[in-house]
């Protein structure tokens, strides 16, 4: 008990240690740490009144906002598991999440995809959420249920066997990961993070939680909008935001007239215009440099480029709180310079996937988490990420697993067989191409529309090739032959 | 298992991630991480051959040196507990440690105090230790026994009941504390620490372990010697050393001729000469600034001034990995602004004292570690350390802690030193008496009024005695002598 530190405990400490610090900014809402603590107390009481107890799931279907952080912290106080789901998903995908997670409470924003699923008991974001929160008592303070190794956050990812899986992260893992980020990014007192990326993705969530850990300020915006991002950076003196590539260009363009002061932003050098608007961080670690290797299952980042200035391996070195081994398929360590599966052990690792005992046993065989990705140790000890052991397409920064798209394609009555590859794409880095064998009548448009109706839009094929047969290796498609024949390429790590 | 990170695991990772980094410098010895890892493998095998298994104790009686780190890491690999004992103790005191800890293996440096205790089985430091280490096989690699919550380090401290107690620290606690230090001190790649303070004390040990955690270089020297410290800083480009006050003056004096280049040292400003020799770190956190509150039982530091720039409370704010509560004797939290016992919970806390189950139960009552020290939350949430709880005056049914009144007295410009005792009082049971050393002009009335203006009225002295000097025991007033000389008595419980 004296070693416990849950996310709710972190908040409880800040409410005492930082009584005047702004914890959260979201539109009109501005909350100090004591105010956030009181709202979380009320929310936990309201959730408890709905019957939420240790191990129960609480689901959020909506865009970014401070309720995401509040529901996570209230779940922590009850020992429950909070899941912010991808609100960009199709009705079928959301339906899968609801069926898989069987949440006791759902808070949702009205959307086309979620509407067909909504239930009498579901709580509407906005006024409905505020009324629900207010129904809880601020006096019904709970010290927190259970220990900090219990799962508190579920993030859907890893659709490598055709269905997404909810990776479970404990308070202990999230606190450890946050602390590693504090070290590597040298986040300090007064840190302000703009949550403009999706909170259902570990990439944004990990910075939100590290900002909480150091007692900084989390600024929320529903989604990326360049001028609003400029306004918030200026108004809240934002230290860091989830910006890269085209988003940085869009922000630069939106502030071409210099209307907003963006100098609070400490960022990696990008373009002459951008560098002139912001404060370029040229420290060796570079607070905003996004180098490294990670996945949801390791809490976010496993290795950091910032821990290996001048490294040979572009993924850098492991976080100070983990061990990495490159293992062959027989479980032995491969020598330096050879490719093996990136395996990990340490404080920030997940607690397995929700309700997948067999998969979990397989992923943690030999006491090491098997990431499913391949890597190599360079002579200087740093790590190079080679690519997924199973096939993955990266389009617009989203992971797309061929197996998932193939499964959707095969539900079409006119499709006999299908395989999915990635082809290079100027805008999205890669685009999805479906290679399809027909047993009835269907056009390329029919095929695309069939997937679009079932999966998130970014997963739909942008190209369809019709063939007589899919080349196979055993029971699985021969992807190398498909790439050669259909222009595949641009895969992550290649 | 996949969440484990022992000290031995940290070393195993560095041996892979930092194959060329110097882990240890000690006289002629220079070891890279893979070389240190191999020596630790041999040493663990040699210890196992002596019958050391999980839970057994390994004792070091000697000055600073790399064997201290090697024995700690080898103990970690076996699940054993390593204790570096205070070699400056008397034979009686060392004898107490040996009897209390019942170590399976003792490695010792010849000394007058230890000689009468030495046993046939004891291993002599130097050649004896090297021969012992070489008897182990480098092939007999152990992955590490047990989990990282088992104790791995024992440090004697806490003689509050007349005997010292061995505080037990687990790998998990030490790794957590190291990581907090990395955050607060912004220790990064290439960090080099000079271990010139005693490693039997948490003050030096905590920096040694944080340096290990970030994959830096630990330089060992047997004890503080000003010119040798200068030479090592220059030769090894030392980033930080355990230097303060008179030690800094001695180093400045030893390098008056500028013979050594000390600019690698990043240090707090001290004197014009010192600042000119070193690199002054004027960052808000200041890597070398030693502000905060700590004790062995919390792994080292509990609060850091570096986390609270411009704080009201000079102990600063809690480490990001702990919670602090100020509790009254009934276990309830005292309001902000009032004095309570500093209690803590979190990742860096100890696992109790060796073989003291009753004391451990008492110290962790209610799920909080009771530090035995008093503190206060200031309005900005930061913490002021008041002093030890042990000595208490009871006047008019109110608890009065001498340390708090003494602190108030010492803010008077004419007061050089002060101590506070309780004297029997017919009306109030006890009354406060101040024993004061003046450095300027002040009457008894001035002294009383000064305290009355700063603390609750019942805490003000009713009697003031002026003396030439306060008798001391080490750094603290000798209260027994003061009671005898100034009529003290009537204490609660007496």
* Inter-chain touch B189–A323, beta carbons under 8 Å: no
Q: Which of B13, B309, B379 sits opposite A323 (nearest CB)?
A: B13
* Inter-chain touch B1–A320, beta carbons under 8 Å: no
Taking the C-alpha atoms of residue A407 and residue A417, their distance in angstroms, rounded to an integer, is: 10
Q: Which residues of B touch A313 (CB under 8 A)?
A: none
The 10s digit of each residue's pLDDT in A428-471 is 889 999 999 999 999 999 999 999 988 888 899 999 999 999 99
Percent of chain A with pLDDT over 90: 71
* Inter-chain touch B13–A380, beta carbons under 8 Å: no
* Inter-chain touch A9–B307, beta carbons under 8 Å: no
Q: What is the CATH number of the domain that holds B461?
A: 3.30.300.30
Residue B291: pLDDT above 90? no
Q: Could you please report the per-residue DSSP string of B156-182?
A: EE--TTSS-EEEEEEHHHHHHHHHHHH
B409 and B318, same structural domain?
Answer: no
Residue B183: closest CA among chain A residues belongs to which residue? A183
- What average pLDDT does this structure show over A184-194? 88
The 10s digit of each residue's pLDDT in B311-366 is 777 788 999 999 999 999 889 999 999 999 999 999 999 999 999 999 999 999 99
Q: Which of A18, A172, A336 sits opposite B381 (nearest CB)?
A: A18
Taking the C-alpha atoms of residue A114 and residue A118, their distance in angstroms, rounded to an integer, is: 6
CA distances for B318 relative to A19, A184, A250, B429, angstroms: 14, 20, 40, 38
- What average pLDDT does this structure show over B377-385? 93
Residue B283: pLDDT above 80? no
Single out the residue of B429, B426, B423, B432 nearest to residue B404, CA to CA: B432
- Give B268 or A247, the one with higher predicted confidence: A247
Q: Decide which of A345, A364, A388 is a domain's last residue.
A: A388
Question: Does residue B285 lie within any of the structural domains?
Answer: no
Q: Which of A1, A172, A308 sits opposite B367 (nearest CB)?
A: A1
Residue A159: pLDDT above 70? no
Highest mean pLDDT of the ranges A186-190, A328-332, B286-290: A328-332
Q: What is the dihedral of CA B269, B274, B276, B282, to 10 degrees?
A: -10
A309 and A268, same structural domain?
Answer: no
Question: Does residue A368 lie within any of the structural domains?
Answer: yes
Q: What is the dihedral of CA B187, B190, B194, B195, to 10 degrees?
A: 70
- pLDDT at res. A473: 73
Q: Which residues of A touch B19 (CB under 8 A)?
A: 336, 379-381
Q: What is the dihedral of CA A223, A224, A229, A232, to 10 degrees?
A: 10
* Inter-chain touch B9–A320, beta carbons under 8 Å: no
- Give B310 or A200, the one with higher predicted confidence: A200
Q: How confident is the model at residue B481 (pLDDT cuts 50, 70, 90)?
A: very high
Q: What is the CATH number of the domain that holds B47?
A: 3.40.50.12780
Taking the C-alpha atoms of residue B229 and residue B175, their distance in angstroms, rounded to an integer, is: 28
First to last CA, chain A: 47
Give the β-pairing of A217-220 and A192-195: parallel
Helix (H, G, I), strand (E, B) or coil at B213: helix
Single out the residue of A187, A182, A192, A188 nearest to residue A237, CA to CA: A192
Taking the C-alpha atoms of residue B344 and residue B373, their distance in angstroms, rounded to an integer, is: 11
Q: Which of A215, A320, A381 sits opposite B179 (nearest CB)?
A: A320
CA distances for A153 relative to A172, A173, A295, A322, B396, angstroms: 11, 10, 15, 20, 52
Q: Which residues of A touch B361 (CB under 8 A)?
A: none
A340 and A479, same structural domain?
Answer: no
Residue B287: pLDDT above 50? no
First to last CA, chain B: 51
Residue B336: closest CA among chain A residues belongs to which residue? A16
Opening angle at CA A157, ends A51 and A240, nearest 5: 95
- pLDDT at res. A275: 93
* Inter-chain touch B13–A308, beta carbons under 8 Å: no
Single out the residue of B180, B148, B145, B152 nearest to residue B167, CA to CA: B152
B419 and B377, same structural domain?
Answer: no
Question: Does residue B492 lie within any of the structural domains?
Answer: no
Q: Which residues of B touch A375 (CB under 8 A)?
A: none
The 10s digit of each residue's pLDDT in B92-125 is 778 989 999 999 999 999 988 899 999 889 999 9
- What average pLDDT does this structure show over A414-437? 93
- pLDDT at res. B290: 60
Question: Does residue A287 lie within any of the structural domains?
Answer: no
- pLDDT at res. A287: 47
Closest-CA distance, B117 to chain A, in angstroms, reads: 37
Q: What is the dihedral of CA A283, A286, A288, A291, to 10 degrees?
A: 160
- pLDDT at res. B398: 74
- Would you mind telling me the total number of residues written for chain A in this entry? 494
* Inter-chain touch A179–B183, beta carbons under 8 Å: yes
* Inter-chain touch B308–A189, beta carbons under 8 Å: yes
Question: Helix A33-49 crosses helix A127-134 at what angle (to 10 degrees)?
Answer: 80
B357 and B255, same structural domain?
Answer: no
- Give A140 or A84, the one with higher predicted confidence: A84
Q: For residue A417, what are the domain limits?
A: 393-486
Q: Decide which of B388, B423, B451 is a domain's last residue.
A: B388
Residue B286: pLDDT above 60? no
Q: Which of B4, B307, B364 sits opposite A2 (nearest CB)?
A: B364
Q: How confident is the model at residue A379 (pLDDT cuts 50, 70, 90)?
A: very high
Beta strands in A192-333, from DSSP E residues, in sequence order: 192-195, 217-220, 240-241, 266-267, 279-280, 292-295, 300-304, 317-318, 322-327
Q: Which residues of A touch B320 (CB under 8 A)?
A: 10, 178-179, 182, 213-215
Average pLDDT for chain B = 91
* Inter-chain touch A189–B367, beta carbons under 8 Å: no
Tokens at A440, concatenated: 């009835």
Instruction: Look at phi and psi of residue B329 and say left if phi exceeds 0, alpha if psi is from -120 to 50, else beta.
Output: alpha
A137 and A54, same structural domain?
Answer: yes
Question: Are the C-beta atoms of B205 and B155 separated by less than 8 Å?
Answer: yes
* Inter-chain touch A318–B13, beta carbons under 8 Å: yes
Q: Which residues of A touch B8 (CB under 8 A)?
A: none
In total, the C-beta contacts within 8 angstroms joining chain A to chain B are 157
Residue A9: closest CA among chain B residues belongs to which residue? B323
Exposed/middle/buried for residue B153 (C-beta within 10 Å: 0-12, 13-18, 19+): buried
B217 and B148, same structural domain?
Answer: yes
Taking the C-alpha atoms of residue B368 and residue B325, their distance in angstroms, rounded to an integer, is: 8
- What average pLDDT does this structure show over B7-32? 97
- pLDDT at res. A402: 85
Taking the C-alpha atoms of residue A52 and residue A391, their distance in angstroms, rounded to an integer, is: 39
* Inter-chain touch B173–A3, beta carbons under 8 Å: yes
Q: What is the CATH number of the domain that holds A348?
A: 2.30.38.10
A384 and A333, same structural domain?
Answer: yes
How many domains does one find in chain A?
Answer: 3
Taking the C-alpha atoms of residue B431 and residue B437, their distance in angstroms, rounded to an integer, is: 20
Q: Which of B9, B16, B349 sits opposite A3 (nearest CB)?
A: B349
Question: Are the C-beta atoms of A374 and A387 separated by less than 8 Å?
Answer: yes
Question: Does residue A175 lie within any of the structural domains?
Answer: yes
Question: Does residue A270 lie within any of the structural domains?
Answer: yes
Question: Are the C-beta atoms of A375 and A303 separated by less than 8 Å?
Answer: no
- pLDDT at res. B269: 83
Q: Which of B5, B323, B346 sits opposite A321 (nearest CB)?
A: B5
Residue B280: pLDDT above 90? no
Q: Could you please report the per-residue DSSP string of B218-251?
A: EEE-SS--HHHHHHHHHHHT-SEES--THHHHHH
Say which range, A141-145, A296-300, B421-425, has the weakest mean pLDDT: A141-145
A119 and A90, same structural domain?
Answer: yes
A359 and A212, same structural domain?
Answer: no
State the number of CA atoms in the 13 A half-sphere of B367 facing the CB.
11
The 10s digit of each residue's pLDDT in A268-324 is 888 999 999 999 876 655 544 567 899 999 999 999 988 887 777 778 899 999 999
Single out the residue of A432, A429, A433, A434 nearest to residue A397, CA to CA: A429
Residue A319: closest CA among chain B residues belongs to which residue? B214
A265 and A309, same structural domain?
Answer: no
- pLDDT at res. A124: 96
Tokens at B433, concatenated: 């008496």
- pLDDT at res. A142: 77
- pLDDT at res. A202: 94
Tokens 């988003």 -> residue: A247
- pLDDT at res. A308: 83
Say which range, B291-295, B326-330, B395-399, has the weakest mean pLDDT: B395-399
Q: Decide which of A370, A388, A406 is a domain's last residue.
A: A388
Q: Which of B1, B188, B309 sits opposite A285 (nearest CB)?
A: B188
Closest-CA distance, B154 to chain A, in angstroms, reads: 18
Please state the φ and ψ torsions of residue B364, each to the nearest 5 degrees. Answer: -110, 20
Residue A34: closest CA among chain B residues belongs to which residue? B381
Opening angle at CA B464, ends B405 and B488, nearest 5: 80
Question: Are the C-beta atoms of A421 and A431 separated by less than 8 Å?
Answer: no
Question: Are the C-beta atoms of A316 and A307 separated by less than 8 Å?
Answer: yes
Q: Which neighbouring-strand residues pair with B369?
A: B344
Q: Which of B9, B18, B180 sits opposite A323 (nearest CB)?
A: B9
Give the β-pairing of B81-85 and A151-157: unpaired
A311 and A220, same structural domain?
Answer: no
What lies within 8 Å, CB to CB, of B37 at 6+ separation is B11, B12, B14, B15
* Inter-chain touch A346–B4, beta carbons under 8 Å: yes
Residue B493: pLDDT above 60? no
Give the distance from CA B397 to its chain's centroid. Answer: 35
Question: Are the C-beta atoms of A146 and A78 separated by less than 8 Å?
Answer: no
- pLDDT at res. B385: 87
CA distances for A493 relative to A92, A173, A376, B99, angstroms: 31, 27, 12, 59
Average pLDDT for chain A = 91
Largest CA distance in chain A: 69
């Amino acid at each position: 008990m004296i070693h416990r530190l849950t996310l709710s405990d972190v908040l409880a400490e800040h409410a005492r240690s930082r009584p005047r610090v702004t914890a959260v900014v979201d539109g009109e809402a501005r909350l100090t740490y004591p105010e956030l603590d009181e709202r979380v107390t009320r929310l936990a009481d309201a959730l408890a009144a709905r019957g939420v107890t240790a191990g129960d799931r609480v689901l959020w279907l909506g865009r970014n906002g401070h309720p995401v952080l509040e529901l996570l912290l209230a779940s922590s106080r009850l020992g429950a598991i909070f899941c912010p789901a991808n609100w960009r998903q199709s009705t079928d995908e959301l339906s899968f999440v609801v069926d898989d997670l069987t949440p006791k409470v759902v808070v949702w924003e009205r959307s086309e995809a979620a509407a067909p699923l909504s239930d009498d008991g579901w709580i509407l974001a906005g006024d409905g959420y505020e009324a629900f929160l207010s129904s809880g008592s601020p006096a019904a303070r709970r010290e927190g249920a259970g220990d900090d190794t219990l799962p508190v956050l579920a993030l859907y990812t890893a659709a490598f066997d055709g269905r997404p899986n909810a990776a479970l992260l404990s308070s202990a893992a999230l606190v450890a990961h946050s602390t590693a980020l504090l070290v590597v990014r040298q986040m300090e007192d007064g840190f302000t993070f703009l949550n403009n990326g999706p909170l259902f993705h570990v990439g944004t969530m990990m910075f939100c939680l590290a900002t909480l850990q150091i007692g900084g300020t989390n600024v929320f915006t529903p989604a990326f909008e360049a001028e609003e991002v400029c306004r918030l950076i200026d108004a809240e003196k934002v230290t860091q935001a989830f910006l890269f590539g085209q988003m940085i260009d869009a922000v630069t363009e939106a502030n071409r007239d210099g209307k907003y002061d963006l100098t609070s932003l400490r960022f990696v050098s990008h373009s002459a215009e951008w560098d002139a608007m912001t404060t370029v961080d040229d420290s060796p670690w570079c607070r905003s440099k996004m180098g490294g290797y990670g996945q949801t299952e390791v809490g976010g980042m496993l290795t950091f480029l910032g821990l290996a200035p001048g490294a040979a391996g572009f993924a850098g070195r492991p976080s100070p709180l983990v061990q990495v081994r490159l293992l062959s398929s027989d479980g032995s360590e491969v020598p330096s310079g050879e490719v093996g599966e990136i395996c990990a052990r340490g404080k920030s690792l997940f607690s397995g996937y929700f309700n997948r005992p067999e998969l979990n046993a397989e992923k943690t065989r030999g006491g090491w988490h098997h990431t499913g990705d391949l890597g190599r140790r360079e002579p200087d000890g740093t790590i190079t990420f080679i690519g997924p052991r199973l096939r993955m397409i990266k389009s617009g920064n989203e992971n797309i697993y061929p197996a998932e798209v193939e499964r959707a394609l095969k539900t079409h009555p006119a499709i006999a067989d299908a395989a999915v590859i990635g082809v290079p794409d100027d805008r999205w880095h890669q685009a999805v191409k479906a290679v399809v064998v027909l047993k009835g009548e269907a056009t390329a448009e029919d095929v695309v529309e069939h997937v679009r109706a079932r999966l998130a839009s970014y997963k739909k094929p942008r190209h369809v090739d019709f063939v007589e047969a899919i080349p196979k290796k055993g029971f699985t498609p021969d992807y190398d032959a498909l790439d050669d024949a259909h222009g595949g390429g641009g895969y992550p790590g290649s």
